[in-house]
Amino acid sequence: MKQRKHFCIALTFLLSFCVVLSSNAQELTTREFSALLAQDNKAPVIIVLKSAPNTQSASRNIGGGEWVSLGDYIEEAQQKLSQDMGWVNFNDIVKYKHVAAMAKSVSADEFAQLAQSNLVQGVYPDRFNELLLTRSARTIGFSAIEQRESGGSGYSVAVIDSGVEAAHPFFQGRVVDGACFSRLGSCVNGQTKALGVSAGRPCSGADGCFHGTHVAGIVAGKNNNMSGVAPKADILALNVFSVVGDRIGAADSDIMQALEWVYENRNKHNVASVNMSLGGGFFTQTCDNAPTTRLINLLRQEGIITVIAAGNEGKINGVAQPGCVSSALTIGSLEPDGNISGFSNSYGALDMVAPGGKIHSSVLGGQYGTASGTSMAAPQVAGAVALLKSFYPQASGNDIFTALTKGTPFTDPRNNVTTPQLFLTSSLAWLASKYANTPPRQRPTPPPTPAPSPAPSPEPPADRPVDQPENSECKPKRIDGILIENDSSECKRSEGKIEW
């Protein structure tokens, strides 16, 4: 294995340790693996298998026969490695269908055997990722186009997060499908995997479980008083967060399963973008050998843009993984006054900035609350992808990617890095110069089981703070690095036509 620089990172809420990070991603050494071992003398890892040969027509598979597709190669490689390792219980192995990778908890002896295998490209820690949470309509140019009809219609946005409250009135029945992936068994009934809208419901038992509902509202929420960026788009609710005690985190292996689910359902739901307001670790350069990269690349090849939050540590020379994957759009945060958010990570490869400070959106229980973080900036861009696609369905993913970067340049005074800021009117103007406007595509057909309808009860008379009693003090509360503000009537906020 390669020689690499040393950094310290924390495996969120499970254990802390020092690991060696390469300039790209953290491939494990024996010493690092030993530090990960739990009480049962095993540690969760992601095993990346060597890529298939470039030419498939005459290639022979690992067992000596012929194979005709990448899927065949992946299955053969996984089977051969399982045989070599003596793995017979496949219930504790995650096998990916579209990338040559597997996830499993392994012992020290198994790790040593994997390190010597000719089938294995690398072994990576199955890290846990934090939620990256710590008024914007005019800021991003939405007000100028809000009366136009497209609004994301005909497209869906996948929200890979802590789950979404599908019955929230802000979504108006537009949460059309979902799934849950949790290697620690945090899905419904203690399962490690579940499918359907109900499977994508919010996690429970931790303060941060509102997060996915808040993010989804920024993407596509809509009521009489405020709107998300793409208020006619559908939402795919993918819960990847496991709850341990009162803390939550998302394993890389579960995130990869969610990305693969999106890839397999991309045509069924006409997916425009994926939002991941999560991350972990610290990377000063791009990390294109990270296990998630292959799936993000597959989606990008299909014209689906993955949007990722940069992280909330206030670093000016690096971002969290998977935000360091270069084929994704990585987003920093701006405050309502247009200045950079002090918590927002940045580095030379940052793609964009968008509003992420004091964003008002949906929270659990049919309520609304305000939160700040790069978690709130990323869904502004994910929603913008669906919005732009609905105006220009013939636009390629690369052209949408380019259009998003046509906003006014913004220079971060902390490190003098200049990135575009999200501004929809500029994006639409660029697309108009290349494409003639066409009607939005027809909406994807919903799954056989209808999505839950919003509760018939009227809109709450007043916004309520996140997870605080109505008589609590107005001082903001910080949950896992996320700033949550009290929006009760006693703590009046400034009013605006549209807020997120």
CA dist 500 and 209 (Å) reads: 18
Mean pLDDT of the chain: 79
- pLDDT at site 288: 92
Q: Is the pLDDT of residue 369 over 80?
A: yes
Confidence grade of residue 37 (pLDDT, cut at 50, 70, 90): low
Q: Is residue 34 flagged as an active site residue?
A: no
- pLDDT at site 366: 95
Confidence grade of residue 27 (pLDDT, cut at 50, 70, 90): low
- Lowest mean pLDDT segment, chosen from 54-68, 162-176, 246-260, 403-417: 54-68
The residue count of the chain comes to 500
Q: Report pTM.
A: 0.75
- pLDDT at site 173: 93
Q: Is the pLDDT of residue 35 over 80?
A: no
- Lowest mean pLDDT segment, chosen from 78-87, 125-134, 275-284, 426-435: 125-134
Q: Is residue 211 flagged as an active site residue?
A: yes
Higher-confidence residue of 397 and 132: namely: 397
Query: What mean pLDDT do residues 374-385 have?
Result: 96
Buried-state track 358-395, b at ≥16 Cβ within 10 A, e below 16: bbbbbbbebbbbbbbbbbbbbbbbbbbbbbbbbbbbeb
Selected catalytic residue, list 375, 390, 426, 488: 375
Confidence grade of residue 52 (pLDDT, cut at 50, 70, 90): low
- pLDDT at site 89: 76
For the segment 182-195, what is each residue's pLDDT rounded down to a tens digit?
Answer: 999 999 999 999 99
Q: In the numeric block, which tokens belong to residue 425?
A: 């009117």
DSSP 344-388: --B-TT--EEEE-SSEEEE-GGG-EEEEESHHHHHHHHHHHHHHH
- pLDDT at site 11: 26
Selected catalytic residue, list 126, 182, 186, 211: 211
- pLDDT at site 24: 46
- pLDDT at site 484: 52
Paired strand residues for 271: 156
Nearest-5° angle of CA 435, CA 216, CA 404?
30
- Lowest mean pLDDT segment, chosen from 43-47, 58-62, 323-327, 411-415: 58-62
For the segment 56-106, what is each residue's pLDDT rounded down to a tens digit?
Answer: 433 444 444 444 467 778 888 888 998 898 887 777 888 988 988 989 888
Query: What mean pLDDT do residues 27-45 have?
Result: 68
Selected catalytic residue, list 126, 161, 351, 467: 161
- pLDDT at site 452: 52
Q: Is the pLDDT of residue 438 over 70?
A: no
- pLDDT at site 405: 93
- Lowest mean pLDDT segment, chosen from 8-17, 107-116, 341-350, 470-479: 8-17
- pLDDT at site 475: 57
- Lowest mean pLDDT segment, chosen from 71-80, 127-136, 174-183, 317-326: 127-136
Query: What mean pLDDT do residues 209-230 have?
Result: 93
- pLDDT at site 281: 86
Radius of gyration (C-alpha) of the chain in whole angstroms: 22
The CA distances from residue 291 to 15, 102, 125, 243, in Å, are: 21, 10, 10, 23
Confidence grade of residue 135 (pLDDT, cut at 50, 70, 90): very low
Nearest-5° angle of CA 333, CA 338, CA 339?
70
- pLDDT at site 34: 63
Higher-confidence residue of 228 and 28: namely: 228
For the segment 380-400, what is each residue's pLDDT rounded down to a tens digit?
Answer: 999 999 999 999 999 999 999
Query: What mean pLDDT do residues 408-432 have?
Result: 95
Percentage with pLDDT > 70 across the chain: 71
Percentage with pLDDT > 90 across the chain: 52
CA dist 221 and 301 (Å) reads: 28
Query: What mean pLDDT do residues 368-376 have?
Result: 93
Q: Is residue 198 flagged as an active site residue?
A: no
